[in-house]
């Protein structure tokens, strides 16, 4: 088939996505579930820009681990706060500088000038000259600005204490000047500020807004909202969203990283579409997880060293999950499957207490996930799942290792 026919054929295939960009890290949604309080705190911190603009220069520190909504909250706040300020005839601008790319003071100030559209001469200017040009331009045009320095950790550690002091204490030398520049600093941890001198550090720590890792319930709400924007109705069932949320929720042993959860959902959708499936399933999530998880290699090595009966038990779990659209299977069903496989392999099955110990060993090695059953199950039982996939490939690996163990070649 010639290239243009391949392209036409692929373009003619139906898609399960109606707005794939809704799952991208840079996408700014209309609402941020479970970050309403942080948004309110930002409004309270910068309210003076509407009530008494120029009265003082505010500095706020957003602190939280990766994927906790710091950047999205700052950007959405900046976007909407500027809109409302302008409705009240206040010329406010929002600037967002990524300090991972702009790690030195010169680059940060140059990027501020670029986004504020400050006209700079062609000849090279010093940092002080550029900064003075920015302040003069804001005065001349009657503009106020909120400048966010994202990934501030990099700037603080590389540019150093003097560079941070230069920005933080902008108006110290000009007490009578209208305070037009305000700052938001985004960092993963306040520990990075310990590199600064004590005066600058204490100054930054005055106004902190914390972003805790997301729980599985919070991640489910986020995934539910974004999935409604990204996929056509009926493509992603609640069980799939709950499964992703439980993988990453901090209360379930995950990192509470919404960015990772959304990427997992997007890759699962891409895997489904590639197969021509009209639904995103748990198996698609497993395939996606195997692509982006940093733990896959470690888990593969852990499986390689499992003793025979733990391998047989793992095989039993895989077989049941393959024939189950739900992400979890019951401990009792796994034990029955394990006994059947032992008989097929001419192995004496271990007793219940030993089998349960095998389950705990597999969990400790991060090969399987376990949880206690809740709503929708009769009685309390241990539920087992595997987040890695595809299960067909995992089963082939486990069966091959079992055969080698039986033959004594491993």
Distance CA 406, CA 410 (A): 9
Helix axes 352-364, 331-344, angle to 10 degrees: 110
| Average pLDDT of every residue of the chain | 92
Instruction: Beginning with the edge strand found earlier in the chain, give each strand of the sheet holding 92-98 in spatial order.
Output: 92-98, 144-150, 181-187, 59-64, 208-211
Provide the pLDDT for residue 410: 61
Provide the pLDDT for residue 204: 81
Least confident among 221-225, 231-235, 304-308: 304-308
- 225 and 178, same structural domain? no
- 371 and 277, same structural domain? no
Please check the confidence at residue 20 and state whether its pLDDT lies above 80: yes
Q: Answer with the one of 157, 176, 211 that is the final residue of a domain.
A: 211
Contacts of 49 (CB under 8 A, 6+ apart): 58, 81, 85, 90, 92, 144, 146, 182
- 349 and 243, same structural domain? no
Burial class of 355 by CB neighbour count within 10 A (0 to 12, 13 to 18, 19+): buried
Distance CA 118, CA 315 (A): 64
Q: Answer with the one of 172, 190, 211 that is the final residue of a domain.
A: 211
- What are the pLDDT digits (tens) for 260-313? 999 999 999 999 999 999 999 999 999 999 888 877 777 888 899 899 999 999
| Global confidence as pTM | 0.86
Pairing state between β 369-372 and 382-385: antiparallel
Top-confidence residue, 71 or 409? 71
Average the pLDDT over 345-349 and give the result: 95
- What are the pLDDT digits (tens) for 52-93? 999 999 999 999 999 999 999 999 999 999 999 999 999 999
Provide the pLDDT for residue 378: 66
Count of residues in the chain: 410
Provide the pLDDT for residue 408: 79
- 125 and 141, same structural domain? yes
Q: What is the DSSP string of 352-409?
A: HHHHHHHHHHHHHTTSSEEEE--TTSSS--EEEE--SS-HHHHHHHHHHHHHHHHHT-
Per the structure, the count of domains in the chain is 3
- 185 and 219, same structural domain? no
The structure tokens listed for 3 are 């290239």
Tell me, what CATH number does 155's domain have?
Answer: 3.40.50.300
- What are the pLDDT digits (tens) for 134-190? 999 999 999 999 999 999 988 988 888 899 989 988 888 778 889 999 999 999 998
Please check the confidence at residue 195 and state whether its pLDDT lies above 80: no
- 165 and 60, same structural domain? yes
Provide the pLDDT for residue 136: 95
- 319 and 332, same structural domain? yes
Confidence of residue 117 (pLDDT cuts 50, 70, 90): very high
Contacts of 174 (CB under 8 A, 6+ apart): none
- 347 and 288, same structural domain? no
Provide the pLDDT for residue 205: 85
Q: What percent of the chain has pLDDT over 70?
A: 98
Domain membership flag for residue 47: yes
Nearest to 21 by CA among 245, 220, 266: 266
Q: Are 207 and 42 in contact (CB under 8 A)?
A: no
Tell me, what CATH number does 286's domain have?
Answer: 1.10.8.60
Distance CA 389, CA 103 (A): 39
- What are the pLDDT digits (tens) for 359-381? 999 999 989 999 887 665 666 78
Distance CA 209, CA 64 (A): 9
Provide the pLDDT for residue 197: 75
- 92 and 57, same structural domain? yes
- Give the domain extent around 263: 12-21+214-293
Q: Answer with the one of 178, 211, 244 that is the final residue of a domain.
A: 211
């Amino acid at each position: 088939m010639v290239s243009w026919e391949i392209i036409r054929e692929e373009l003619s295939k139906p898609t399960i996505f109606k707005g794939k960009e809704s799952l991208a890290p840079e996408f700014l949604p209309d609402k941020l579930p479970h970050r309403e309080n942080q948004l309110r705190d930002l409004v309270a911190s910068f309210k003076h820009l509407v009530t008494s603009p120029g009265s003082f220069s505010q500095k706020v520190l957003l602190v939280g681990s990766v994927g906790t909504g710091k950047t999205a909250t700052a950007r959405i706040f900046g976007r909407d706060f500027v809109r409302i300020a302008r409705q009240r005839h206040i010329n406010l601008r929002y600037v967002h500088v990524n300090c991972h790319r702009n790690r030195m003071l010169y680059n940060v100030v140059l990027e501020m000038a670029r986004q504020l559209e400050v006209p700079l001469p062609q000849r090279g200017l010093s940092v002080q000259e550029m900064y003075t040009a920015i302040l003069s331009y804001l005065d001349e045009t009657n503009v106020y600005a909120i400048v966010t320095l994202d990934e501030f950790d990099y700037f603080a550690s590389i540019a150093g204490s003097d560079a941070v002091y230069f920005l933080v204490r902008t108006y110290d030398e000009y007490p009578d000047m209208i305070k037009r520049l305000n700052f938001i600093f985004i960092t993963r941890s306040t520990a990075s500020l310990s590199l600064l001198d004590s005066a600058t550090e204490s100054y930054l720590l005055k106004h902190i807004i914390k972003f805790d890792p997301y729980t599985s319930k919070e991640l489910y709400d986020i995934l539910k909202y974004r999935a409604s924007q990204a996929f056509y109705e009926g493509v992603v069932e609640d069980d799939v969203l709950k499964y992703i949320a439980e993988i990453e929720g901090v209360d379930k042993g995950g990192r509470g990283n919404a960015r990772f959860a959304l990427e997992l959902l997007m890759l699962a959708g891409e895997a489904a579409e590639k197969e021509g499936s009209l639904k995103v399933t748990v198996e698609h999530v497993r395939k996606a997880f195997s692509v982006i998880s940093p733990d896959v290699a470690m888990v593969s090595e852990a499986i390689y060293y499992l003793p025979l009966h733990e391998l047989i038990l793992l095989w039993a779990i895989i077989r049941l999950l393959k024939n189950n659209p739900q992400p979890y299977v019951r401990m009792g069903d796994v034990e029955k499957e394990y006994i059947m496989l032992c008989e097929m392999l001419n192995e004496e099955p271990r007793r219940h207490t030993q089998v349960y110990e095998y389950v705990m060993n597999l969990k400790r090695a991060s090969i399987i996930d376990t949880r206690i059953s809740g709503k929708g199950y009769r009685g309390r039982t241990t539920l087992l799942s595997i987040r890695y996939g595809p299960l067909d490939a995992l089963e082939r690996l486990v069966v091959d290792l079992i055969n080698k163990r039986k033959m004594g070649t491993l």
